Amino acid sequence: MAPPKEISKGSAPSAKAPPPPPQDFKKLPPIPKGSKVQKRPLTRRQLPSSSKTPVVYVSSSTPFMSAVRRVQKYLDRSLRNATAAAPRNASLHARVEGLRRRAAAASATTASGQSRGSAAAGGADGGDDADPGATRVTVMGTGRAVEKVLGVAGWFEQKGDCVVALRTGTVGAVDDIVAENGEAEDESRIRMVSCLEVVVSLK
């Protein structure tokens, strides 16, 4: 997967997905006559067990509000955990300050991960090894789901209590070329598709 590129952070996303940067990809040859294409599901990245940064995958058939509720559930859970971690005898002001410090640390971790991912080759996973207390959720979609992911970004941006960062990239999808007549051998090939990641964190 190509390293993601950050588009914006903390600013309202536009109504339409930005055009992808020009890529020098080799055009795939046409499939043989009498064959059909079977698309495999995209390989989902394996996060380390210590990571508490959830990733919400959105497809073209995912209901919009279902994706929004999943992201909100992770944010609420993270906020509850942060509140529970404060001492019982702490004042309200101390609890609020603690939440602010955790949110600032999460933002710093996000920026650090994005810098490492852009500087290193093959660093698409550089921003996923998050701090255990990070209050951020990554929403990811490819192809026709990009527009829906952008809509999720706009929904949380309008709430006012969230910071939204957009990153674009490409990911390889595996297609199987299956011969229907059985005369030719089946083959597989990699197809590059556009990808949009939205990182939502609490202010």
pLDDT (tens digit per residue) in 148-184:
999 999 999 998 888 999 999 888 888 777 877 666 6
Q: How far apart are CA 150 and CA 161, in angstroms?
A: 18
Mean pLDDT across 4-27: 54
DSSP reduced 3-state for 73 = helix
**Cβ-based neighbour number of residue 2 at 10 Å:** 18
Residue with tokens 């991960």: 113
Task: Write down the pTM of the prediction.
Answer: 0.56
Tell me the pLDDT tens digit for each residue of 22-76.
555 567 777 777 777 777 777 666 655 555 678 899 998 999 999 999 999 988 8
Non-local (6+) Cβ contacts of 203 within 8 A are 103, 161, 162, 163
Element (H, E) at 118: helix 92-119
Tell me the pLDDT tens digit for each residue of 119-158.
333 333 333 333 444 478 999 998 889 999 999 999 999 9
| Per-residue pLDDT at 90 exceeds 70 | no
